Structure 1
Amino acid sequence: MTLKKTALLLVLALTLRGGAYAQNLIVGADFSTRFDNREYAPNEFGEPQTLFSARLSPRIGVEWQQKNRLIVGADLLQNFGDDTKFLSKARPILYYQFNTKNVQANAGIFDRKELMGDYSRAFFSDSTAYYHNRLSGFMGRYQPASHPKTYVEMAIDWEGMYSHASREMFRILSAGRYTADRGFYFGYAFSMFHFAGRKGNENVTDNLLLNPYAGWEFNAYLDFDIRANFLFAPQRGRSVDHLWRKPCGGQLDITIRKWGIKIENNLYLGENLQPLRNYAANPATGLTYGQDGLYAGESFYATTKHIYNRTWVGYDRTFFKGTLGVEAGMVFHCDGTGLGTQQVVKLSVDIEKLFNIGTKKKH
């Protein structure tokens, strides 16, 4: 049975059961296209390449009692220049969502944008966030309506099934933020990645990352956001030497905005946060941990020069009540070995429409 037929049957079944409560039919779609040209030849820790793709994620579902949603959809990705098949990837979206004034919970396969936490590029690089855009598992968040910039969330993403072809992998994520008076805020982000073996290659690697931070948002004609971060990355490759490596460092983030123009600078000073990157992950294939997927963060955090500076200069703004987003800019990367540049252009669309398909509650 095709995904389209499954979605239609789901909506029909819930519609026929709609005699007790009013229901809404949800029809929506996300679209994005992203050009990312990376000129990293002068850098030791970045890989030069050009990524250019388009993604369409149509979805359909039912909402009932204003708190419950059941969604079915598809994530369709096409890498430009890949003419070997109709789509580069086609994957399902299927999840239940419970949503109240203060609480949201998801279960199933859902989009990464459902997460609210501020996970820096040390956790997920731009390309990881774009190409691994779905989470498979659970997510729960508490966000008091009286303090919309204060929240705490936790999620689990099951990324790989134990077999001859793939590793058993899952990631536990958590983030929280408390916003105080006068724009001051405090928060954290956390990741625990269980990177186990596959059949015929039994080994387990533990990869953790903790990022407590404090910041200040204020306006002085321009909008400023200044944040101080601490990054702590304990990890152990049990197939390497069973030793816990505990690299850490500090990062200062400064963002300035006005009329959609954005200047952002991220300065990291510290140790190599990806010390297992060049160790053998699978001797049979010759892959290293860096190639086999242990690290989802930006590869520049593997710097052995104790410095990584990223500067973004460009335009980032939404239009039409947030349904259309435009992002274009130049990025400069300095890892202590050279200066690399990156040009990024991204256009995104997110639309959703509700249609009443049920009846009011019977008496």
Structure 2
Amino acid sequence: MSIKKISFILSTLLSTLVFSAKSQTIEGNLNYFGFMDNREYARSKRFSQTIFGNRISPEIGLKLDSFNRFRIGFNALYEFGSQKHTFFDRVDPVIYYEHEKNNWSFFIGSFPRLNLLTDYPVGLLRDSLNYYRPNIEGMLVKYQTKQFRETVWLDWTSRQTAKDKETFLFGFSGKYQPGMFFLSHYAFMYHNAGAGIPIPGDFLQDNGGLQAEVGLDLSKKTILDSLTLSGGVMFSIERTRAISSSFNTPAGFISNLYASYKKFSVKNTFYNGNPHHIIYGDSFYTTHGYYDRVDLGYTAIKYKNLEGKFVFSYHFLEGVLDNQQAFFLRYNISGKKDLKKKQ
């Protein structure tokens, strides 16, 4: 990223700060995300790689009243060892409006997916989106009470031009938990339309998936900090129009177990069924038969707004064992200042 672009971003933020002096409250937030993800996938003949870098995302904005706010900032990526010879490898704008009242939340703009969609199963939305696509560009509506939540969202991934395709993701997720038992669901559809000038051999495509589970939360019944078990169905949908008028809908059984105690955690995900081709999903779910993943976590650093965690993952499939070692560090700080003049 050039110095000229960085100067432009800083000038924009400074202009916003000056303007905000006329508002009641100015807000700011800084999020840092450092990651090292070493993936040894050669035994199952999937793509092995090491993802190593960090992101920083500052925001500044105006809180207009108790329900409405505007934010502006950026989310910048730098991968260690990058040969681009720029300050950042990529900078994504953060510009959004948020409305929050009673049990409703509404976002429009380019806003962080963190804490909004990061609970999606990786079989549907792969975890590398946290590294390379940290923002949602579109809209999101969320309704939440103590027992129920539902989120509906639209993420516009490409605007149609003469050469560029029109692509977007539309999804919804939710959970109902009146007590120990709960029901949860996660779903999305990827729509891949053509460019303004038709490309020979290119057809409109629909692709997506859904997971629905029933579970049991035993966290309050044991000495563990958290213990949940769930099981249900996973299926995907795929259609390439002009080639087929019907959807391909492979399906299978999926279960999850999660337990944590102090600094330690374990998560197990088991799948058995038909292989899936979910474009935004984890490639391990293309396997024929069963797939089992075990994640062992250790939170080495936890202090106020700072958390550092090791995760060791093991993938059992197709008669082989792949492994993965990762470390994540997050730091988040926020603040606000009331600029309303005292009477």
TM superposition score normalised by structure 1: 0.86
Residues 177 and 187, structure 1, Cα contact 8 Å, conserved in 2:
yes
Match of 1:302 in 2: 286
Match of 1:238 in 2: 241
Decide which of 206, 213, 223 is 1:221's aligned counterpart: 223
Residues 117 and 153, structure 1, Cα contact 8 Å, conserved in 2:
no
Greater shift, 151-160 or 227-236, is seen at 227-236
Matched, 1:349 2:324: no
Q: Classify the secondary structure of the residue corresponding to 1:9.
A: helix
Match of 2:316 in 1: 334
| Structure-2 separation of matches of 1:197 and 1:317 | 47
Task: Name the Cα RMSD after superposition.
Answer: 2.0
Match of 1:8 in 2: 14
CA deviation after TM superposition for structure 1 residue 174, in Å = 0.6
Matched, 1:207 2:220: no
Residues 185, 317 of structure 1: alpha-carbon distance in 2 compared, 3 angstrom cutoff? farther
Residues 119, 317 of structure 1: alpha-carbon distance in 2 compared, 3 angstrom cutoff? farther
CA deviation after TM superposition for structure 1 residue 128, in Å = 2.1
CA deviation after TM superposition for structure 1 residue 118, in Å = 3.6
CA deviation after TM superposition for structure 1 residue 65, in Å = 1.3
Match of 2:193 in 1: 196
Match of 1:178 in 2: 176
CA deviation after TM superposition for structure 1 residue 351, in Å = 1.0
Decide which of 250, 255, 278 is 1:252's aligned counterpart: 255
CA deviation after TM superposition for structure 1 residue 250, in Å = 1.2
Match of 1:311 in 2: 294
Equivalent runs, 1:101-140 vs 2, <5 Å: 101-115=102-116, 118-140=119-141
CA deviation after TM superposition for structure 1 residue 242, in Å = 4.2
CA deviation after TM superposition for structure 1 residue 197, in Å = 2.3
Residues 159 and 171, structure 1, Cα contact 8 Å, conserved in 2:
yes
CA deviation after TM superposition for structure 1 residue 15, in Å = 2.8
Residues 152 and 174, structure 1, Cα contact 8 Å, conserved in 2:
yes
Decide which of 142, 154, 157 is 2:155's aligned counterpart: 157
Match of 1:286 in 2: none
Residues 316, 168 of structure 1: alpha-carbon distance in 2 compared, 3 angstrom cutoff? farther
Match of 1:280 in 2: none
CA deviation after TM superposition for structure 1 residue 50, in Å = 0.8
Q: Which amino acid aligns with 2:306?
A: L
Residues 124 and 208, structure 2, Cα contact 8 Å, conserved in 1:
no
| Structure-2 separation of matches of 1:9 and 1:117 | 32
| Structure-2 separation of matches of 1:267 and 1:353 | 42
- Pairs aligned (count): 330
TM superposition score normalised by structure 2: 0.90
Greater shift, 200-209 or 35-44, is seen at 200-209
| Structure-1 separation of matches of 2:285 and 2:176 | 27
Matched, 1:272 2:275: yes
Residues 324, 9 of structure 1: alpha-carbon distance in 2 compared, 3 angstrom cutoff? same
CA deviation after TM superposition for structure 1 residue 131, in Å = 1.4
- 5+ residue gaps, structure 1, are 275-293
Q: Classify the secondary structure of the residue corresponding to 2:142.
A: strand
| Structure-1 separation of matches of 2:102 and 2:53 | 36
CA deviation after TM superposition for structure 1 residue 317, in Å = 7.3
